[in-house]
Amino acid sequence: MTAGVVSDASAESLAGVFKALGAPTRVKLLSMVAAAPGAEACICDMTAPVGLSQPTVSHHMRLLVEAGLVTREQRGRWAHFRIVPGALAAVAFALQPAGSATRES
């Protein structure tokens, strides 16, 4: 992003990610998934730590899925979430000043 003007598609994608990360609750939920054993978290374990109902946490997680930050897998009655490989690194890379780092494949 800092190496030049981003394309319309890239700007749209990045804005979606930033919008999803614009709520402290979603940042906390994302960190819970990343820090969970095996980097996977069940929605059943995510409600109490944020003090919200399951439908509200599901709404927040849906926004993170739509932003491409996590994946969702339904197992019985519970949804399980994982960080999308490379998604957080791509966001960090987009914010780095030009020339400060190289992108790894």
**Burial of 55 per CB tally in 10 Å (0-12, 13-18, 19+):** exposed
Please provide residue 97's backbone torsions phi and psi, each rounded to the nearest 5 degrees: -60, 150
State the Rg of the chain over Cα. Answer: 15
Is the confidence at residue 7, as pLDDT, over 50?
yes
Contacts for 27 with CB less than 8 Å, ≥ 6 apart: 21
Is the confidence at residue 72, as pLDDT, over 70?
yes
Predicted TM-score (pTM) above 0.75: yes
Cα end-to-end span (Å), the chain: 17
When pLDDT is cut at 50, 70 and 90, the band that residue 40 belongs to is: very high
